[in-house]
Structure formats: structure tokens, C-alpha cells
Amino acid sequence: MKTQQYFTLKEVQLNNNCPECYSKDGLELTFKQKFVENLFYKAITEDTVHEMHCKTCNTDIFPVRWTHDIEQVVDYQKRAVTPKSKSLKLKLAGWVFISVDLLLLIIVMLFVTGVLSF
């Protein structure tokens, strides 16, 4: 079973006014990066997402509601965040699968070339 998760890269408190409650204290911008895990491997991808939430009025602020000032701050923060590099780590099941396939390939090649016969 393949699971896709996100881990938090950076959280930034913004000084802009919330478009919902007009509070200047509650806006928080969160950058997240995608993490994929299944039976054979764990991987960090290059996909990043960002979310904005107001802690004062407890609402998610979607890009449709952003003001020009908020868009400028978000663009600046996008450039400032550095995502983790793309990586892949094989689990034990992945190593076993590769080893068994390699062993089967060697046996088939030995059988085809006539070195091994039954």
C-alpha cells in the first residue's frame, strides 16, 4: 500500500491582515514537502505545497482570497524556502526483491548458455 504524506519544511508567521477577520496577528504560512512510502522504499519527492491558516478566526485562507500584499509575501517566502533534496531509500523488502530477481536472472543465463543443466 502506497502512502503519500507531507512533512513540514517551514512555518512563517505573517504580519498581513487576514482577509476573513482582518486580524494582523494570526496568519501563518506553512510549506510542506511530499514523502512517499510503500512496501519497497521510502522517498522524498521534489513536490512542495503551501497552506495559509489564520489562528485568530481558525480558517484556511485559499489563494482566491489573498490580497496583492499577501501574494507578494508568499512569492518571497517561496523563493526563500529550500526543499530537501530528492532521495530514495530501499527497505528490506526492496533489497530482497532485487536480490531474488538478480539470482533468478543469473540462473536463467547459466541455463541458456548451457553451463547449468537439469
Residue 11 confidence class, pLDDT cut points 50, 70, 90: very high
Residue 1 confidence class, pLDDT cut points 50, 70, 90: low
Average pLDDT, the chain: 89
Q: What is the pLDDT of residues 61-106, one digit of tens each?
A: 898 988 899 999 999 999 999 999 999 999 999 999 999 999 999 9
Residue 2 confidence class, pLDDT cut points 50, 70, 90: low
Q: How much is the pTM?
A: 0.76
In terms of pLDDT, which residue wins out, 102 or 3? 102
Q: b vs e for 47-84, b when ≥16 Cβ sit within 10 Å of the residue's Cβ?
A: ebebebbbeeeebebeeeebeeebeebbeeeeeeeebe
